Amino acid sequence: MFGETGRYVFSILLFLAVLAYVNVLLLSNPRVMYAMSLDGILPAAFKKKEEKKDVLTVSLTVFAAICVIVLFFADRFDQILSFTIFLDSIGMATSAGSIFILRKRTKHLDKTGIYKMKLYPLLPVLFIIAYIFVGTVIAITNPEYAITGLSVLAVFIVLYFIFHKKRNNKLEDEPDLDLFHHNKS
């Protein structure tokens, strides 16, 4: 559409956009794993950091391994992009949807000025609709990527419930220390 020069310029812009996207993933996902470990959702190994440089060694390694696995199964750029964007569309839409739950639970803070947002709830709704649209388009045009993405999501949901159940069982098995000390005295 814009000729050879336009193709070159847009290729560079696309490369920079993908580089920025990968940078965000590398910065955020290992930290999410770390936070989930602190909350007891993931195993304690994900808390491990290299103290000198404050690098999340286990979380970053696991995330890199997941990326390599994705690269192993996807041999074209559009496959990788469609797969990751499909999963991100689910994650971003549900994350944005949580604002409505949080706002409802903290309704008592509405008049304090902490929650000022122009065009609320329109902007979060538009954000969610946009991501649902993107996910739907990928599911229609490339259903195999959507099925793969949903399968991966299902595996991680199962893992979440397994670790969550283990955590709850561990908490139930531990004696209440305050009660224990109170009975001894």
Least confident window among 26-30, 75-79, 83-87, 130-134: 75-79
Specify the number of domains making up the chain: 2
C-alpha–C-alpha distance, residues 85 and 6, integer Å: 25
Q: Which of 54, 73, 92 represents a domain boundary (last residue)?
A: 73
- Residues 94, 19, single domain; the answer is no
C-alpha–C-alpha distance, residues 41 and 108, integer Å: 29
Longest CA–CA span in the chain (Å) reads 85
Q: Determine the structural domain holding residue 153 and report its residue range.
A: 75-185
Contacts of 139 (CB under 8 A, 6+ apart): 86, 146
Q: DSSP alpha helices (H): ranges in the chain?
A: 3-38, 57-73, 77-105, 122-141, 143-173, 177-184
pTM over 0.75: no
8 and 17 Cβ atoms separated by less than 8 Å? no
- Residues 141, 124, single domain; the answer is yes
pLDDT of residue 125: 96
